[in-house]
Amino acid sequence: MKTETIRTLGMAGGIIALAGIAAWMGLAHGCEQPQSSGVIAGHVSIDPELAGKVSPTDVLFVIVRRPGNAPRPLAAKRIDHPQFPVAFEISSKDMMMEGSELKGMVDVIARVDKDGVAGPAQPGDLEGRFDKNPTLPGSTNVEIVINKVH
């Protein structure tokens, strides 16, 4: 192969990699979304086999975080005394860091928390994930089934 061809292929690969990173972070040029699209909405239901494990004092957290099991959530919605199925909507108002925007690829998780304290899952907590994780803000048909016991 000629040196010019190798250099051209290397540059093209670098551009494609940068475009992929920009898209993952929601920064791709021309991908600006209207203000209202920075929302993720859907429903959380519970596997019938686990329904008996939910008590009236439990709290449902719908959590948005970066893909790859990022330790800190980007946004969270707390729902006291959930009655399943539960509708939810998460927007930039629910961001953990005030002034941040909900954008880029994210994972959406729902957790029934036994002690009602936000934080890592504890034994006895119930959890489910959106089957199509990762997703983008603007997704309005996010269906999560709680089907795992910690």
- CATH class of segment(s) 35-149: mainly beta
Contacts of 99 (CB under 8 A, 6+ apart): none
pLDDT of res. 30: 46
pLDDT of res. 20: 64
Count of other CB atoms within 10 angstroms of residue 126: 23
Q: What are the two backbone dihedrals, phi and then psi, of residue 50, each rounded to the nearest 5 degrees? A: -105, -10
**Of the candidates 49, 37, 26, 46, the residue with the CA atom closest to the CA atom of residue 103:** 26
Chunked into runs of 10 residues, the chain (150 residues) has average pLDDT values of: 70 66 54 61 97 93 88 92 95 88 92 88 93 93 96
- List the chain domain ranges: 1-32, 35-149
**Of the candidates 103, 135, 137, 134, the residue with the CA atom closest to the CA atom of residue 28:** 103
Ranges of H-type helices in 1-61: 3-24
Count of other CB atoms within 10 angstroms of residue 67: 13
pLDDT of res. 12: 65
The secondary structure of residue 104, as a DSSP letter, is: S
